[in-house]
Structure 1
Amino acid sequence: MNTMKKQLNINGKSQYAEDIYEKFRPSACGPVTARVILDQFAPEVCPYDANKLYTMLGSTRIGLSKRRLIGNLRNLLGAGWTVADCTVEEVKRQIDRGYAVAAKFDKWFTFRWRGHYAFDYHWVPVIGYEETDNDVMLIIHDNGGRNRPSQVRQVSYKRNKPVLSFVKIEPKNLSTD
């Protein structure tokens, strides 16, 4: 079996960290993911913490839609940034170039109620991948849980493909678009 692995050294963050407002924690995965990805460039590119991003991106207690993340983050960051939907092939290219990508697992709004997916509804930063002969293992920071910190883990792209979508976030001067 041939394998190729690439993993970025990115600092993850738990959506249950003490600096996240308690009322936001259960649904803060989208803003936390955006903040982690923006921090890889420089924290000052976006002066807002995850709590402020929660409101500015349009998060609700049931989460953050991909459409809202893309549209509101584009408006927030301005014309010098690319915030766009991307494929798993683009995810691999982004990782190869050194940039994490946002992944959304969503079995509820994709109407995939049956199936065993890594998450039902969750945003996470993809920080790497391992390509095997028959799958791509995505290396993610899972943004933690009520009683556990953010941790790096691998999830199967093939198994989760029906509920997965990706968003790249990068300055346009780095973009391949």
Structure 2
Amino acid sequence: MKVQLNVQGISQYNKDISPRYQNSACGPTTVFVILNYHNYQQAKNINDLYKLLGGTKIGLFRWRLIKNLRKLLGPKWNVSRCTLAESLKELEAGRPVAMKFDKHFTFQWLAKPTFNYHWVPLIGYLIQDDELYLILHDNGGRNRESQIRKVRFADNHKVLSFVKIEPK
């Protein structure tokens, strides 16, 4: 079984993003991509979202993303932490999910996940040979646009958390 949404990714190193934000702009970039997918145009750019969401040089904490995005979007949106199962249902309903890899604050120092600390838009999943793979935009790199990647859930499950961002 495969679900993959047609989501336009953006690199967090895009020339329109302030150079002082780029290294830690994965959270605001992820939110921007998801809001664009929902045709929400109030957040003009990633630099504004970085400030509004409370981005820091070490990244964007999940609790801060949820709290500040709820303020920004208002009561017509549901922004909340969710489980893997809820994330897959969101994807099946046609809604991407914000997914965070966090090796450090989950105390998984010996783990070898795809990313140590990084927010990405989760845009799909694939079940192949009884294995779950997550499909995501990687938010790019220096001089590289965002790419769609497939990562094995079993290799990353200890460091993953999910936030759904859905209009009510």
TM-score when scaled to structure 2? 0.97
Partner of 2:82: 86
Partner of 1:59: 55
SS at match of 2:54: coil
Of 12, 16, 24, 1:15 maps to 12
Identity of aligned residues (%): 53
Partner of 1:134: 130
Counterparts in 2 of 1:1-177, with a 5 A limit?
Answer: 4-44=1-41, 46-172=42-168
Gaps of 5+ in 2: none
Give the C-alpha shift of residue 43 in structure 1. 3.6
Q: Given that residues 30 and 98 in structure 2 are in contact (C-alpha distance below 8 angstroms), is that contact kept between their aligned partners in structure 1?
A: yes
Aligned residues: 168
What RMSD, in angstroms, separates the aligned Cα atoms of the two structures? 1.0
Give the C-alpha shift of residue 85 in structure 1. 0.5
TM-score when scaled to structure 1? 0.92
Q: Is the deviation greater in 53-62 or in 35-44?
A: 35-44
Instruction: Determine the C-alpha separation between the residues in 2 that align with 1:59 and 1:133.
Output: 39
Gaps of 5+ in 1: 173-177
Instruction: Determine the C-alpha separation between the residues in 2 that align with 1:52 and 1:130.
Output: 34
Per-residue CA distance 1:75-108 (angstroms, 9 max, x = gap)? 1100111001111111111111111000000001
Partner of 1:175: none
